[in-house]
């Protein structure tokens, strides 16, 4: 970070980077930076927030990654499912130990035992047992509420439905669902045979499996579990020590990790973490560190938690493994938006469990900053232990007469002259075949239209031999030609691989099913920059149908920018007044830059024409109707939310209000019925007091809504 940069500008840049990396990690399963680098960014962001006195309510990323998925029932956690603080060195573990001792009023030499457990790289889940029977399973979600995945957990067979020897009381047991490496390999073998996109890694494979709407699809897929914590319990007598609680869970028939180990002090905890790195490659499952917990659970309540993590535990993250290899070439990869990304071809090297022969170079500015050259010996690591990346050049091993690598002047796929924008280079040709294939991959992905059977070779053949020119072309396929479509060159036996009758029937079934996915999934599948899953859901919920979205986008571009769905934190009084005059309700969470780009794309002739083709092919261009159980006296009432509420997020409060028949708006006027105010409410609260609008706190809101 340049030292001359103003703190406010640096804060904006880092927030943008955090959002970008969170999207890659949580939604796309392709992180570009290591955990330690992300944590350094996050720490700097928090330093700047403190320096600039940014309110908690306006800070980005207060909750852990959100795994909630549309179509699942949302359940509130009785005890928040927080993430753990992280440490990367013995010094950081010592600081954790010192902080624990200070809070417990213990001297440096007083006994303090810990339990150290492998940190399973899977999907966090909380399972509630009542009278010993499994009654509910909930994903982490955003830490406050998660998705009900009870049916999926039962179908997986990962945990027993009835505990052994437990016939009364209730408890919530938390742990990780995971895919063993062998199960991951087998699933990818099946996906290869079916021609569908492969799972990126076991963690995301497990998460995707547990979010299948049809729970029967989870049966027999190899999902397993390790349980590691009792979050709460009623009417049960449990031991106080964590090690004894793990033994209790084992006796009850729940799978626990046999490698969990009690240790006498923090030095022994660090030593076990170091020793376990030798064991790590031999495991049948992935781990991404170790977890160190205070053994005496009676201390947990005394230690408490921050808004982000409990103070009684810490995750020790292993140092990222780095290996030397030689960079053979740099090829240009074309993305769905036309972005031209440099990718390194490497002499194969074994890194973190797999052989790596290609690695990300991120962008052309980063490549120039590192001065990577063909023939260099480079250091390679896996960002997030998933995506290989070149992190440095071993300059002392650089051969003579190497040359810097220049930015591409043209697209390697279509030959169009490339354009540079900031740190990125783009192919501006929307008809570029490489872009089209990436857009088709994205459109068919599970997060968008979820169309199975469209692997890389199939999409290549559809574009090359059947002339598919857009996602709409998938619904216009000549079905009679599909069985004979060649999807692979000659095999060793001299035969060509054709699509066949079975694949044709399966693809037609998948395409038919996708027609009813609805507006939000369709918008998310368009591949428009910044129009992801959340923004698409927001648009579908607010406008209900494509025609309304288009009308709004066109009005916005015609100059009615006061109608934008947010807006920035630097709202002027004139802009606010103009919004009120127009009667336009803002949507929280979308800034003007994002809105400009998204609405410009949505109103473009190419997208409008594409949506017409979708409609002609029978796709639903509307959002499913929401059933609202209006409460007497609430229907039609207008609410304004301001400040930070004690337990409800803004989204949760909005959901409570709209579910009761009310509506939320972004500004206070004489027409406002209620202002719901939390901590640091600011000018909206003052405006409500001035106008005599009824003011509620969180408790008052809950009582009003019943």
Residues tagged active-site: 119
Tokens at 507, concatenated: 């693809």
CA angle 237, 243, 246 (to 5 degrees): 65
Question: Where does 380-449 have alpha helices with state H?
Answer: 433-444
CA dist 159 and 153 (Å) reads 8
Question: Which residue in 637, 652, 702, 650 sits closest to 678, CA to CA?
Answer: 650
Question: Where does 304-384 have alpha helices with state H?
Answer: 364-370
- Going by the DSSP 8-state scheme, the letter that residue 11 receives in this structure is H
CA dist 192 and 201 (Å) reads 15
Asked if the peptide bond before residue 193 counts as cis, ω within 30 degrees of 0, the response is no
Strands 674-677 and 638-642: parallel
CA dist 580 and 564 (Å) reads 12
H, E, C per residue of 194-245: HCCCCCCCHHHHHHHHHCCCCHHHHCCCCCEEEEEEEEEEECCCCCCEHHHH
Bridge partners of residue 132, in order along the sequence: none
| Residues in contact with 249: Cβ distance below 8 Å, sequence separation at least 6, in sequence order | 173, 227, 230, 256
**What is the end-to-end Cα distance of the chain in Å, rounded?**
50
Query: Is 26 within 8 Å of 446 (Cβ atoms)?
Result: no
DSSP 81-108: -PPPEEE-SHHHHHHHHHHHHHHHT--T
- Torsion sign over Cα 391, 395, 396, 400: positive
Q: Which residue in the block uniquely carries the two structure tokens 């600011």? A: 682
In the chain, count of helices (H) and strands (E)?
A: 22, 24
Question: Which residue in 510, 447, 527 sits closest to 475, CA to CA?
Answer: 510
State whether residue 14 is helix, strand or coil: helix
- Torsion sign over Cα 304, 306, 307, 308: negative
Maximum CA extent, the chain: 83
| Residues in contact with 527: Cβ distance below 8 Å, sequence separation at least 6, in sequence order | 336, 337, 438, 439, 442, 443
Backbone angles phi, psi at 447, to 5 degrees: -75, -15
CA dist 260 and 246 (Å) reads 9
C-alpha dihedral, 93 to 95 to 100 to 103, nearest 10°: -170
């Amino acid at each position: 970070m340049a030292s001359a940069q103003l703190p406010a500008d640096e804060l904006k840049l880092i927030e943008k980077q955090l959002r970008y990396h969170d999207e890659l990690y949580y939604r796309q399963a392709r992180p570009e930076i290591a955990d330690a680098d992300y944590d350094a960014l996050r720490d700097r962001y928090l330093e700047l927030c403190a320096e600039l006195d940014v309110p908690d309510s306006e800070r980005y990323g207060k909750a852990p990654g959100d795994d909630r998925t549309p179509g699942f029932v949302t359940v509130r956690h009785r005890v928040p499912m927080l993430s753990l603080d992280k440490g990367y060195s013995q010094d950081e573990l010592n600081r954790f130990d010192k902080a624990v001792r200070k809070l417990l009023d213990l001297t440096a030499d007083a006994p303090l035992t810990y339990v150290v457990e492998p940190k399973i790289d899977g999907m966090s889940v909380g399972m509630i047992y009542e009278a010993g029977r499994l009654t509910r399973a909930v994903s982490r979600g955003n830490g406050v509420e998660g998705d009900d995945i009870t049916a999926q957990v039962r179908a997986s067979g990962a945990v027993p439905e009835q505990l052994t020897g437990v016939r009364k009381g209730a408890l919530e047991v938390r742990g990780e669902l995971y895919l063993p490496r062998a199960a991951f390999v087998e699933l990818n073998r099946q996906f290869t045979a079916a021609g569908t996109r492969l799972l990126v890694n076991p963690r995301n494979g497990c998460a995707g499996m547990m979010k299948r709407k049809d729970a029967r699809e989870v049966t027999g897929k190899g999902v397993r579990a390790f349980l590691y914590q009792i979050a709460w319990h009623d009417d049960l007598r449990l031991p106080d020590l964590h090690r004894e609680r793990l033994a209790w869970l084992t006796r009850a028939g729940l799978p626990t990790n046999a490698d969990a180990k009690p240790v006498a002090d923090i030095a022994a905890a660090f030593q076990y973490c170091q020793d376990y790195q030798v064991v790590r490659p031999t495991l049948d499952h992935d781990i991404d560190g170790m977890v160190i917990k205070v053994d005496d659970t009676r201390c947990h309540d005394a230690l408490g938690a921050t808004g982000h993590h409990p103070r009684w535990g810490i995750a020790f993250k292993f140092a990222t493994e780095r290996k030397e290899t030689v960079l053979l070439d740099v090829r240009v990869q074309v993305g769905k938006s036309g972005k031209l990304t440099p990718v390194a071809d490497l002499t194969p090297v074994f890194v973190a469990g797999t052989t790596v022969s290609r690695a990300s170079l991120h962008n052309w500015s980063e490549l120039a900053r590192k001065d990577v050259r063909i023939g260099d010996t480079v250091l390679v690591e896996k960002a997030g232990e998933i995506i290989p990346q070149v992190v440095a050049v071993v300059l002392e091993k650089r051969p003579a007469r190497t040359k810097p690598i220049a930015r591409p002047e043209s697209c390697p796929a279509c030959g169009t002259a490339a354009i540079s924008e900031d740190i990125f280079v783009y192919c501006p040709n929307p008809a570029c075949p490489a872009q089209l294939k990436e857009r088709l991959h994205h459109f068919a992905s599970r997060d968008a239209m979820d169309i199975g059977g469209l692997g890389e070779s199939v999409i290549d053949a559809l574009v090359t031999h059947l002339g598919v020119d857009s996602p709409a072309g998938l619904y216009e396929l000549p079905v009679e030609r599909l069985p004979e479509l060649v999807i692979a060159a000659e095999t060793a036996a001299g035969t060509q691989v054709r699509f066949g009758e079975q694949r044709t029937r399966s693809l037609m079934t998948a395409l038919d099913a996708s027609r009813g996915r609805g507006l939000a999934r369709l918008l998310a599948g368009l591949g428009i920059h910044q129009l992801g899953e959340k923004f698409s859901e927001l648009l579908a919920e607010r406008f209900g149908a494509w025609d309304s979205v288009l009308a709004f986008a066109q009005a916005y571009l015609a100059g009615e920018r006061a109608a934008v769905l947010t807006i920035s934190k630097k709202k002027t009084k004139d802009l606010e007044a103009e919004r009120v005059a127009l009667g336009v309700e803002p949507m929280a969470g979308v800034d003007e830059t994002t809105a400009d780009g998204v609405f410009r794309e949505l109103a473009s002739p190419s997208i409008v024409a594409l949506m017409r083709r979708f409609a002609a092919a029978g796709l639903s261009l509307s959002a499913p109707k929401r059933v609202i159980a209006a409460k007497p006296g609430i229907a039609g009432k207008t609410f304004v939310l301001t400040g930070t509420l004690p337990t409800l997020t803004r989204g949760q409060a909005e959901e409570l209000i709209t579910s009761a028949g009310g509506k939320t708006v972004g500004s206070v006027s004489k027409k406002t019925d209620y202002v719901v105010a939390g901590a640091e409410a600011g000018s909206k609260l003052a405006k409500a007091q001035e106008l005599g609008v009824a003011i509620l706190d969180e408790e008052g809101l809950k009582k009003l809504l019943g």
